[in-house]
Structure 1
Amino acid sequence: MNNRFEEFEDFEAWSTSAGRSDPREVVESYSAFKNYISEHSKDRSLEKFLGVGQERTEILQFMFNAFVSGNLPQLFRKREDANEVLGAAWSSKVFSEAYKILSLQNVPQFEGLDREYLAHIARESVEPRNVIYLPEKLREVGVILVHERVPERAKIDGMVALLGTGHPVVGIGFRYPRLDFYWFTLLHELSHIVLHLDRLASPILDDFEAGDRVSAVEAQANRLAKNSVVPRHLWRNSSVHYNGGRETIIEFSKQIGVHPALVAGLLQRELNRYDRYRSIVDAVDLREVVFTGG
């Protein structure tokens, strides 16, 4: 086994295997997890993402928790060929960061979200730098938002789950730096909280480029995310459909109170023409805004 993966022998295997009183079962789970990690020990993307020291140990600890609870096989629900271990590592990092936030911040208990709140939060998109303050804003309603770039090669855009404390956690992976992609991902994951809270004991990881047939649950979240940006009747009757010039898009975005990139992104997806409106959707590099203060 790669020696870089030996450090998880310090795991508190007994405490993380809650509900497993049989020592043999704990040992078997631990051995199986070591084998699982060993199979991926030469993955450079995984190695780079895990890093070193305490942070590395914490990620592996959360991965082990997911492994013994049976959540690892469920992480990817949309495509069987997705890179499971990268998804497990990234979601484990999101969980680790979420619990750190809960331990350091006074986060109120989650009391629920509604559709009106999603429409309200979408209006924050009008100023790109507002994304920096969204984690604090969502904490006010008991939702933990974690900005964490996904590992290289990982086909993951976002995730949502329910923590043991009852707080929802949303992870945004910044696979792409586009403003509209960030907002669609965020609103999609928040839509799961509004619509599917009872299903979030196991995390949902989303890959919006998956070519599979979209499930009913995902279609519902997509629809609510879109309606949060622009109400259906306004979108259906908008002049951007027959006069989709730059000025028309900008004017319509002002009318509905969102950034023009969100309107341009909706048009790209609707027309399946991702070569159009590039000057609008590529105008802001959100990775620079969030991670380097650009």
Structure 2
Amino acid sequence: MITNEKQYRSARAAIERFGAEMADLRNAHDGVHPALRRAQIAGLESQVAELEDQVQEYEHLQSGAVTTFEAEGLVDLPDLLIRARIARGMSQRDLGTFVGVAEQQIQRYEAERYRSASLERLAEIAAALDITVKESAQLRTAPPTETGPESAWSFPVTEMFKRGYFEDFSGSAAQARKEAAHLIPDFFRHAAYDWTQTALHRRSVRAHGNVQLAALAAWEARVSILAERRAPQVAFRKEVISHEWLDYLVRLSARDDGPKAAVEHLRASGVVLVVEPHLPGTLLDGAALHTTSNIFVVAMTLRHDRLDNFWFTLLHEVAHLRLHVAQGPYRAIFDAIESPGNSPIEDEADNFAQEALIPAAQWRRCVSRFTQTDRAVRADAAKLGIHPAIVAGRIRREANDYTLLANLVGSGQVRPQLT
């Protein structure tokens, strides 16, 4: 079974290599007996078929389409846990962070199929993956409605502790895990967070795989707390997001302090921008939401600390505020920008952001979209009055080649301004 991206890439490379070897064998004229050649080809075909099955399973799990994992008995539990992790879109590092152990420990557990793991650890892993195990395992599609000792394991308590989510708690990480059944409800009460089924219907998630919803709820609650502390002086009205307002926002990108200036532009219009790294199991870029006290928020994780990603994500979330949150029906929308949209509201926000950053009529006149050179990108950006990273990012997305123009996308230039 393929358990991580490194193994996945190796398997894909091996398939290509074996394919080339088979082609060479079929075309060779070196005097080798045909029966021996057929045996060599058959051996390679068998290896390719096995690898293709493993790759297909890994890709199917990652797609988010799988939520149920059948097991014949406890002997199948280790593979079930591995498959559930992949289906959650969680890396081995994410799971380690979630339960408070090193990534290497998760790798060892999975390599030996959890033979050295205690029953308590297995239960903790299952809770972190938020699965219910009966005759089969089912990914839960809503956060726990109660927070007793068992359901508290569904939250990344150690990571929440490290980030200071439990502000009135002065104990250690180990003590936080022991007291999670009390700390988690107190945290959500502080955030005035509503995770009832009614509230969940007013949330939309665009993400890789099946998001760990308890972790997502904790992240949203933390964002809400931070937003309340930075409440703007004016109330947000969706009408303020006009063509002129957007044009001014985009042109701020040309400044060296563009992201910082964007925060102030939003704040002056009644929108708080909060930066909070994603929690393990969520893998988000940003979100648009409004709190229970009606504060409108753009939240960003800076998962990719690049200017091109910052500006596209920002405009995407502004679109959600204007089109889908301020006038309903959603209270919160969460986004992993690189994952497929697969919904009208995501297509609408993608198109809104793209048009606001570089209108289609102007993009058609950009030489850089064809030449893809540094000089052309800088020249087009100067004509448009925007940062070259925005042009470079557009070219990379349309070409689906993220190795292009890597020196122009502003790597490492966002976080120092906003954190």
TM bucket normalised to smaller: 0.7 to 0.9
Corresponding residue for residue 23 of structure 1: none
Change over 3 Å in CA distance of 1:164–1:52 after alignment to 2: closer
Q: Is residue 107 of structure 1 aligned with residue 234 of structure 2? A: yes
Q: Is residue 82 of structure 1 aligned with residue 196 of structure 2? A: no
How much has 1:59 moved relative to structure 2? Answer: 4.4
For residue 242 of structure 1, the aligned residue among 367, 370, 391 is 370
Post-superposition Cα deviations, 1:100-121, rounded to whole Å, max 9, x if no partner, equal: 222xx52345352223322220
How much has 1:288 moved relative to structure 2? Answer: 2.5
Q: Is residue 98 of structure 1 aligned with residue 250 of structure 2? A: no
Corresponding residue for residue 281 of structure 1: 409
Equivalent position amino acid for 2:263 in 1: P
Change over 3 Å in CA distance of 1:150–1:77 after alignment to 2: closer
Corresponding residue for residue 274 of structure 2: 146
How much has 1:184 moved relative to structure 2? Answer: 0.7
Q: Is the 8 A contact 1:145 1:170 kept in 2?
A: yes
Corresponding residue for residue 167 of structure 2: 53
Q: Is residue 130 of structure 1 aligned with residue 130 of structure 2? A: no
Corresponding residue for residue 4 of structure 1: none
Corresponding residue for residue 110 of structure 2: none
CA distance in 2, matches of 1:226, 1:109: 23
Gaps of 5+ in 2: 1-142, 170-182
RMSD: 2.9
For residue 271 of structure 1, the aligned residue among 384, 396, 399 is 399
How much has 1:253 moved relative to structure 2? Answer: 0.5
CA distance in 2, matches of 1:141, 1:149: 24
Q: Is the 8 A contact 2:166 2:187 kept in 1?
A: no
CA distance in 2, matches of 1:189, 1:176: 16
Change over 3 Å in CA distance of 1:200–1:137 after alignment to 2: farther
Change over 3 Å in CA distance of 1:89–1:39 after alignment to 2: same
Corresponding residue for residue 155 of structure 1: 283
Corresponding residue for residue 249 of structure 2: 121
Equivalent position amino acid for 2:375 in 1: E
CA distance in 2, matches of 1:117, 1:38: 44
Post-superposition Cα deviations, 1:77-100, rounded to whole Å, max 9, x if no partner, equal: 335611222221111111111212
Equivalent position amino acid for 2:258 in 1: N
Q: Is the 8 A contact 1:122 1:228 kept in 2?
A: yes
CA distance in 2, matches of 1:183, 1:156: 15
For residue 40 of structure 1, the aligned residue among 151, 154, 157 is 154
CA distance in 1, matches of 2:280, 2:254: 29
Q: Is the 8 A contact 2:273 2:299 kept in 1?
A: yes
Q: 3-state DSSP class of the match of 2:244?
A: helix
Q: Is residue 220 of structure 1 aligned with residue 348 of structure 2? A: yes
Q: Is the 8 A contact 2:215 2:282 kept in 1?
A: yes
Corresponding residue for residue 202 of structure 1: 331
How much has 1:204 moved relative to structure 2? Answer: 0.5
For residue 232 of structure 1, the aligned residue among 323, 336, 360 is 360
Equivalent position amino acid for 1:134 in 2: A
How much has 1:286 moved relative to structure 2? Answer: 1.4
Equivalent position amino acid for 1:186 in 2: L
Q: 3-state DSSP class of the match of 1:67?
A: coil
CA distance in 1, matches of 2:297, 2:206: 20
Moved more, 175-184 or 139-148: 139-148
Q: 3-state DSSP class of the match of 1:94?
A: helix
- Percent identical residues: 23
Gaps of 5+ in 1: 1-28
Corresponding residue for residue 187 of structure 1: 315
Equivalent position amino acid for 2:254 in 1: V
Q: Is residue 170 of structure 1 aligned with residue 298 of structure 2? A: yes
Q: Is the 8 A contact 1:83 1:155 kept in 2?
A: no
Equivalent position amino acid for 2:418 in 1: V
Larger relative contact order, structure 1 or 2 (CA cutoff 8 Å, min sep 6): 1
Moved more, 179-188 or 144-153: 144-153
Higher alpha-carbon Rg: 2
